[in-house]
Amino acid sequence: MEAVGTFRELFEMRETDPDVWLAPNMHYPWGRVYGGQVAAQGLYAAAQTVEAAYLPHSIHVYFIRQGISDEPITYEVDRIRNGRSFVTRRVLARQASGVMLNLSVSFQRPEDEPESLTIAMPDDVAFDPDAPEDSFVPPMVRKSDPEARARAWVRIGDDYTPSPLMEAVAHTFASDDLPTEAVMYAHPLGRPDFSAPESERTYFGASLDHAVWFHDLTPASEWTLHDFRSSGVRGGRGVAQGDLWSSDGRHVATVAQEVVLRVAR
């Protein structure tokens, strides 16, 4: 199975055994698999074992090993529980080197209950259609906010078939981009210069675990504000927390991530 080049192709999975799915991979500029891809594919694999009436409301991920792009990924789904309101699945992602990711995902049947929102989209940010774009994590596109440390407008630049599930999958893919930057900005040595060779950087980082709570599954193909902050670092670890907002102020998701940052020696 060769590496693919589009977002849609990432989710063209093949069931090789009951509840076991083989998924293609993608090449990224830094040479390793993007964690958001593995989390998104794990969510998609879990959803293949769940009735369509249930939608994902939260995922919790532990990143265990870095993956390589030249090998497909196997997703093993464990049907933990089928309830009337909630369905729970566990997913292990594997390559030849071993388990890469351990994911828990919970699905809920939509319920008609009272709603409230006690936070609001930041009022000091506005979408600028003329702002320059970058694409460090293809096929995702960003418009970074030069006045903020870990804030950017983000969208999936490739076409995909929209559905509530695919919006959750796409937002999961995108949600792994900004949190590490938030922790790096809080590091006492500052954010490293990513234009410099790895051998010259002051420290190195990797995601440890990642969680997303979905609130309003707006299209991830439209510009979504990712706004993150971090309380600092201790013991080589730091936590980032943030929110995803649609351009019209809907609260799309809450995200939390812990990263490890080690000074180069």
Same domain, 159 and 43: no
Q: What is the pLDDT of residues 169-187, one digit of tens each?
A: 999 999 999 999 999 999 9
The residue from 109, 138, 172 where one domain ends is: 109
Whether residue 118 lies inside any domain: the answer is no
Q: State how far the Cα of 31 lies from the Cα of 181, in Å rounded to an integer.
A: 18
| Domain termination site, one of 50, 74, 109 | 109
165 against 129, higher pLDDT:
165
Query: Is residue 105 located within the same domain as residue 145?
Result: no
Q: How many beta carbons lie within 10 A of that of residue 92, not counting itself?
A: 18
The answer to whether residue 20 scores a pLDDT higher than 90 is yes
Q: Give the residue from 109, 142, 176 where a domain finishes.
A: 109
Cβ neighbours around 264 below 10 Å, total? 12
Residue reference for tokens 């830094």: 30
| Per-residue pLDDT, 198 | 67
Radius of gyration over every alpha carbon of the chain, rounded to an integer in angstroms: 18
Q: What is the pLDDT of residue 116?
A: 95
Whether residues 31 and 79 share a domain: the answer is yes
pLDDT at position 196, please? Answer: 66
Same-domain status, 208 and 247: yes
For the domain that residue 22 is a member of, what is the CATH number? 3.10.129.10
Q: Does a structural domain hold residue 122?
A: no
225 domain-assigned? yes
Q: Are residues 135 and 265 in the same domain?
A: yes
Residues 154 and 233 in one domain: yes
Q: Is residue 255 classed exposed, middle or buried when 0-12, 13-18 and 19+ CB atoms within 10 A define those classes?
A: buried
Q: Is residue 174 part of a domain?
A: yes
Q: Are residues 73 and 161 in the same domain?
A: no
* Domain membership flag for residue 123: no
- Residue 228: pLDDT above 90? yes
Domain count, the chain: 2
What is the span of the domain harbouring residue 228?
130-265
pLDDT at residue 151 is higher than 70: yes
Average pLDDT over residues 105-121: 96
124 occurs within a structural domain = no
**What is the mean predicted confidence (pLDDT) over 128-157?**
88
